[in-house]
Amino acid sequence: MVLETREIGGADLEEAQERENREPRDFKPEYCNYRDEGCEYAKSCLECPFPQCIYDEPRGRQRWLKKARDKKIRKLYRTGKKVKELSGLFGVSPRTIQRALGGSESLENGS
């Protein structure tokens, strides 16, 4: 951004230059030095198994881990494990196991 001194007075020119220096510039991706180091789930962002980065959403990693845990709980429940066994195995309360199962399933098979 080039300012001409004849259009803007001395004080206004200094103020405009200070504002320009304070505002961060948004460079085009081609001009940024970006290292794709990936994360604990993929070696690089381009090899990531997720449709969207789990770190872009609030509590995204926590939500993903919870869904994976709940999937394991449902699988073990279908193999015959009881709610109390699962709660001890995963270190959560029986109510958490019931929520993971959908509530009514765990009450039918007994806790």
In 30-50, which positions are buried (b, 16+ CB within 10 angstroms) versus exposed (e)? eeeeeeeeeeeeeeeeeebee
> Rounded to 5, what percent of the chain is helix, strand, coil?
55, 0, 45
What is the per-residue pLDDT across 59-106, written as a single tens digit (0 to 9) for each? 888 998 999 999 999 999 999 999 999 999 999 999 999 999 986 454
Q: Residue 5 falls within a domain, yes or no? A: no
Residue 28 has pLDDT above 90, yes or no: no
- Residue-averaged pLDDT of the chain: 79
* Segments forming the whole domain that contains residue 45: 10-109
Q: Residue 2 falls within a domain, yes or no? A: no
Q: Residue 4 falls within a domain, yes or no? A: no
Q: How many domains does the chain have?
A: 1
Q: Residue 26 falls within a domain, yes or no? A: yes
Residue 107 has pLDDT above 50, yes or no: no
Identify the pLDDT of residue 111.
Answer: 47
Q: Residue 57 falls within a domain, yes or no? A: yes
Nearest to 39 by CA among 60, 58, 70, 67: 60
CA distances (Å), origin 41, targets 37, 50, 57, 70, 73:
11, 9, 16, 19, 21
